[in-house]
Structure 1
Amino acid sequence: MRTILILGLSWAMNLAASDNDGPAMAELQAFSSGLETLHAGFNQRVIGPDGALQSEGAGSVWMQHPGLFRWSYEGEYPELIVADGERVWIYDEMLEQVTVKAQSSNIEDSPLLLLTQPQSLAEQFEVTELGAYEDMQLLSLVSHDPESEFERILLGFAQDQLRLMALEDAFGLRTEIRFDQVRRNPGLDPELFRFTPPEGSDVVGDTEPPALQ
């Protein structure tokens, strides 16, 4: 099963850090201002601790504030990940298996959602400007939570558009996702954020109905 968005690029560790109120933060603020929905294509690479490429993939992502998202991985190993506001559904088409977990407001459910709440970044992360790389301005986010799954999250922006999101876990597993054809606030079909397990698939995980509030 893929882990969404995991990479802290090794080259970023060598960039000179600047203040946290520079061009990258300005790009983030410009991109996230008024952001309610998002649709984009992406290309993903997963890199092991030894630097070897473990997998590559591509697909599309949809997001709707405050907590809905859909990741569709295409190609040889198709996979679908849907968050409906109560649960996250992960469907592995090859295995015909659905994994279910309760959805929380934790950024780890989908770091992409932090784009809708940049004002709260400092509460959850140590935020550092890393300067320019390629044609992007980079922002480094290191969680204040020592038990966080992610050691670092990187965001890359260019011309007020999200181009890169990357994370690295405690074991050195890195994933880089580069976005293209990014559309802000398109109209989205509510069915994108609903999921029904295909007939005959195995369903495992947190399958109990959500507790009443």
Structure 2
Amino acid sequence: MKPLPSMLAGLLLLIVMANPAPAEPADGAVAAFRAFFVDVDAMRGTFTQRTLDEEGAVLESASGTMAIQRPDRFRWTYESPYQQIIVADGEDLWVYDVGLEQVSVRPMDEMLGAGPALLLSGSFAELERDFRIVSGDEAGWVELQGRGGSWQFDAVRIHMAGGAPDRLELQDSLGQTTVLELGELDMNPSLESGLFRFEPPEGVDVVGREGLGGG
């Protein structure tokens, strides 16, 4: 299935981990979400991503690996059914479509509100500035309510279990829902700084940053 770069860059989003653990009580979910930002500076793992229509039917699915390093750095690698690498280095957001041999690059400050990977790689203070963070209707769930118009999703729900998010649900204005789940999660690993740097492979087309001088 052909990747959708703009959506995928947005879906860098949120971070869901499939760790079997009891859900946080409703009153403790927001506190656990806050503690997650305070206690966790880095993480890595695998992910699955599904996009569902209004009836819950699967429109597309993808899987791969991810790593995040606060502040504002992440690497999201789609391995199946297509290959795509998305890297944020703290200044720029790079999207490399392997099959199309094309790289796009945009300043991260133009991507505010674009999605969960950006959300989870930032600080809790930034999150509180941009969102109201409230307990959901069910135990363990946190809801984010945008304070402005930059957020591209109508509803964002995050499930907390064992002190970490293990499921993220994002609903857009068309009624489609993106579900992210992570597994094999390693919290606060030592990550090499080079993981969050991107150099376009020789010969690929570069869109943005004026083609990096034609590189």
TM over 0.5: yes
RMSD: 2.5
Label 1:105 to 1:38 Cα distance change in 2 as closer, same or farther (>3 A). farther
**Does 2:95 match 1:95?**
no
Whether the 8 Å CA contact 2:154–2:172 is kept in 1: the answer is yes
- More divergent stretch after superposition (72-81 vs 140-149): 140-149
- TM-score, with length taken from structure 2: 0.79
> Within 2, Cα distance between the matches of 1:97 and 1:120?
32
- Counterpart contact for 1:57–1:75, Cα < 8 Å: yes
Out of 171, 175, 195, which is 2:178 matched to?
A: 175
**For the residues of structure 1 that align with 2:167 and 2:88, how far apart are their CA atoms?**
21
Q: Is the 8 A contact 1:98 1:203 kept in 2?
A: yes
Greater Cα shift, 196-205 or 110-119:
110-119
2:202 is matched with which residue? 199
2-structure distance, mates of 1:198, 1:208: 13
Q: Which ranges of structure 1 fall in alignment gaps of 5 or more residues?
A: 8-20
In structure 2, stretches of 5+ residues that fail to align are 14-25
1:143 is aligned to 2:149:
no
Give the letter aligned to residue 75 of structure 2.
R
Q: Within 5 A, what are the aligned runs for 1:44-123? A: 44-49=49-54, 51-104=56-109, 107-115=112-120, 116-123=122-129
Deviation, structure 1 residue 106:
5.6
Partner of 2:166: 163
Identical counterparts, % of pairs: 32
Contact 1:65–1:113, Cα closer than 8 Å, also in 2: no
| 1:23 to 1:62, Cα distance in 2 relative to 1, 3 A | same
Counterpart of 1:15 in structure 2 is: none
Change over 3 Å in CA distance of 1:106–1:45 after alignment to 2: same
For 1:95 and 1:53, how far apart are their aligned partners in 2? 25
- Tell me, what secondary structure is at the counterpart of 1:27? helix
Q: What letter is aligned with 1:88?
A: L
Q: Is residue 101–residue 207 contact of structure 1 (8 Å, CA) maintained in 2?
A: no
Q: Specify the SS of the correspondent of 2:201.
A: coil
SS in structure 1 at match of 2:194: helix
Q: Which moved more, 1:37-46 or 1:161-170?
A: 161-170
Matched, 1:124 2:130: yes
The alpha-carbon distance between structure 1 residues 178 and 57, as it changes in their structure 2 partners (threshold 3 A), is: same
Higher relative strand content: 1
Distance, in Å, in 1 between the alignment partners of 2:36 and 2:196 is 23
Tell me the alpha carbon deviations over residues 63-100 of structure 1, each in whole angstroms, 9 at most, x when there is no partner: 11111110011122111100111211101111111111
Other structure's SS at 1:192 match: helix
In structure 2, give the amino acid aligned to 1:43: T
Given the two structures, how large is their TM-score scaled by the length of structure 1?
Answer: 0.79
Residue 40 of structure 1 is matched in structure 2 by 45
The letter for the 2-side match of 1:83 is A
- The structure 1 residue matched to 2:31, chosen from 13, 26, 33, is 26
Distance 1:49 1:204, change over 3 A: farther
Answer whether contact 2:166 2:182 (CA < 8 A) is retained.
yes
Query: What one-letter code is carried by the residue in structure 2 that aligns with 1:121?
Result: L
The alignment of Structure 1 onto Structure 2 pairs a total of residues equal to: 193
- For 2:101 and 2:156, the matched residues in 1 are separated by 31
